[in-house]
Structure 1
């Protein structure tokens, strides 16, 4: 494929995935605003439950990494039998894991929330939310995997459309179920839980119908003819470990930031919310890279593999350099949208201006992670996450933030160092892998 055509294909695949990610982030903001109307206890309750639910999501996304690599390879090879085999495996494994997590939520939900630090005031609300959303987490598992299956086949538009519809439905449901309508006063926290579950049920049905209308269609009678899941499990386990290491590291990392003071922690969270929009293009490009590299790999086309990785990273650096510039100069205005506290505004601006320099490194690290996953290497990203989160961010928060007294600047400088070194490491690993494949 010519470089110009390859560039267009990367944009075609990445743009819908980027729009989908941006919309999901926006919906998260709206949900938070709605729940905040119920009071800080409700925000705390839902936040505690979501901390555990995010661990579930990390496992589902890891399963998606394995499914993407294997499905993309099967499509690249034109192997219909292998394709349907891997689609079946991904669906059955997602159902199995979703049912397991659902049972854990129902049986041990209260204990998990107490371990997370839920107090008597927030426990009741957290438990009600967690029982509904965690108990029926199978719909989140299926939505994640069905969307992954479509993206791996090169269709990033359908998951985007389904996401827009499902998330819009979720916001409308949340509003009426939380606050009620007319004389009905609504269900409060339980309302947001029901809105989430019903929206995911809708999303599951829509995505399943779309899959069944394509060459990826699964014969339900053959669904449990699994064969050995070893290949998918081998790809999934390192990806799952990477995400769990990241989540656990975040818990420790956040606790260290709390130790720097309430204003520092609040400023860090505000800055994190603002910068979350900037890396959406890189996620979209990484999705495109994983799909196209998986398809090229099975054909033995190492030149295309390298071109995809280079182009997706170059596009990412260019886009995120622009976003970083906007972040740097717009930092005061962005901060004032969230708080009027002058000290907090100053700290948010400090964080965002350091983060502006993070953007190119983040673009390269995310795209190289996607490229390596397309090659079937999920271990390199695990190693980079272990070193980056525990060796650089956690240690950096202690040394730069606490010992050197740099506060929030030290925290975000440690992120800058992590992303720069991670980009270098993953790029090196990609070149090592492709050089071996070319021999």
Structure 2
């Protein structure tokens, strides 16, 4: 049962992130409709390139998650030095990964994308998108870290303002650059990538400006540091390493899924890509809850209030299951109308509907793993548990089932997607066991 204090914190932290995510997902849908008019090869190509860029996004997100765990608990302990160290050390690590992915994406995009698909046109479209998209990796790192700090300062609405502004910029520029409106050249998939990069730079500048204003108001010291106490580095590595390994392996698994889809043909791959915007919308509806879970439970653990933290965790479980069931039903109901938004063959629309129904059947497990696994269980810094969960689910079940159903049993793509996605329920079961054990409840800010 949620008390008044819990509800107030949840709304304050989750609502801005949710609104931002829903805005982003909704406008991503508009982007997808624009790209859809370019043909199945462009839809599939940009979708596959997006999967590779997600490798970087997931790794940067994992590092930010570790940073957020530490920052959350240090805020609970009112330790400003700990907050500063928790911000800068992970930031430097993320910047290194941004450099590596930028060089690979810009220098050899054809080599990278040829792993994902056989069709020459799809590979060409994907490579063109990836080369330009690489320019946005550094701005996204800065935005992620500043946004995490602001959310822990109970100023979640500020990164939401920056994010929504960037989304609008991205959508408008997509229209101009994809189709060549006015004096802008028609750049198709290149235009989509450039629009995303410019919007990312705008978001970084806005959120940075808002943070500096808030920092000045609070008289907060956050000067860059380049040396860190050994005890802190050891603690940070203990938290970061399992998350980074786990998320990297999970993302590699997701990219393996994309490779499986890509080699099933352009049209099936296009159908899978059409599923992503609506997936983003319904998952985005609960991503604010996940963000709030990590901060709220982490604050309680950092303050030494374990019973309160466990009660909050149970409230997040109930909220996630209820909301997940409702959203899954909505996906099933709107899927026939959704596919009509795209200029694709009827066969592709029919396959997309089947994929969406399959998605709805695993949706509760997906959001449970996001909120409880990615939010609650990681708030105590016991990230090795979640690493094991991700490895077992993705590589022990998902990847093998994907290859067997696609290449041995030769099932259609929607069945392949459904069976490999059952790994979400494996992760859910393990997460429930870990949640009840309370072994995740640790105070790392001592």
TM over 0.5: yes
* Counterpart in the other structure of 1:196: 196
1:414 aligns with 2:414: no
Q: 1:224 aligns with which of 226, 243, 256?
A: 226
**Residue among 326, 332, 336 paired with 1:332:** 336
In the other structure, the counterpart of 1:27 is 27
Equivalent residues of 1:46, 1:125 under 8 A apart: yes
**Does the C-alpha gap of structure 1 residues 217 and 396 become closer, same or farther in structure 2, counting only changes over 3 Å?**
farther
Partner of 1:78: 78
Question: C-alpha distance in 1, partners of 2:199/2:327?
Answer: 32
For 2:322 and 2:346, the matched residues in 1 are separated by 33
Task: Report Cα offsets for 1:327-374 as digits up to 9, x if no partner.
Answer: 334443334444786655554444444443433333322222111111
Matches within 5 A, 1:353-372: 353-369=357-373, 370-372=375-377
- Rounded to whole Å, the distance in 1 between the matches of 2:353 and 2:107 is 44
Structure 1 pair 77–260 and aligned structure 2 pair: CA distance change class (3 A): same
Q: 1:105 to 1:419 in 2, by over 3 A?
A: closer
Q: For residue 285 of structure 1, what is the aligned residue in structure 2?
A: 289
Q: 1:31 to 1:391 in 2, by over 3 A?
A: same
1:382-420 CA distances to partner (integer Å, 9 max, x unpaired)? 222222222322333455677667645643543563233
Q: Distance in 1 between matches of 2:384 and 2:95?
A: 25
What is the alpha-carbon distance in structure 2 between the residues aligned to residue 181 and residue 355 of structure 1?
36
Q: Is the 8 A contact 2:133 2:194 kept in 1?
A: yes
The runs of 5 or more residues in structure 1 that have no matched partner are none
Going from structure 1 to structure 2, the CA distance change for 1:358 and 1:52 (only over 3 Å counts) comes to closer
Query: Is residue 33–residue 341 contact of structure 2 (8 Å, CA) maintained in 1?
Result: no
Which has the larger displacement, 186-195 or 241-250?
186-195
TM-score when scaled to structure 1?
0.85
2:257 corresponds to which residue? 253
Q: Which moved more, 1:327-336 or 1:10-19?
A: 327-336
Given that 1:77 and 1:299 are in contact with CA atoms closer than 8 Å, whether structure 2 keeps it comes out as yes
Q: Return the alpha-carbon distance in structure 2 between the equivalents of residues 49 and 255 of structure 1.
A: 11
CA contact 1:49–1:126 (8 Å) conserved in 2: yes
TM-score, length-scaled by structure 2: 0.84
Task: Give the aligned partner of residue 311 of structure 2.
Answer: 307
Matched with 2:56 is 56
How many residue pairs match? The answer is: 438
The gaps in structure 2 that reach 5 residues or longer are none
Kindly tell me: are residues 43 and 324 of structure 1, through their superposed partners in 2, closer, same or farther at Cα, counting changes over 3 Å? Answer: closer
1:428 to 394, 418, 433: 433
- Which string of whole-angstrom CA distances, capped at 9 and with x for unpartnered residues, describes residues 76-123 of structure 1? 001122112222334333333323433444444454345555876566
Greater RCO (CA < 8 Å, at least 6 residues apart): 2
CA distance 1:97–1:233, change in 2 (3 Å)? farther
RMSD of equivalent CA atoms: 3.4
* Contact 2:41–2:266 (Cα < 8 Å) also in 1: no
Give me the whole-angstrom Cα distance separating, in 2, the residues matched to 1:364 and 1:45: 30
Structure 1 contact 31–171 (Cα < 8 Å) conserved: yes
Distance 2:101 2:440 in 1: 41
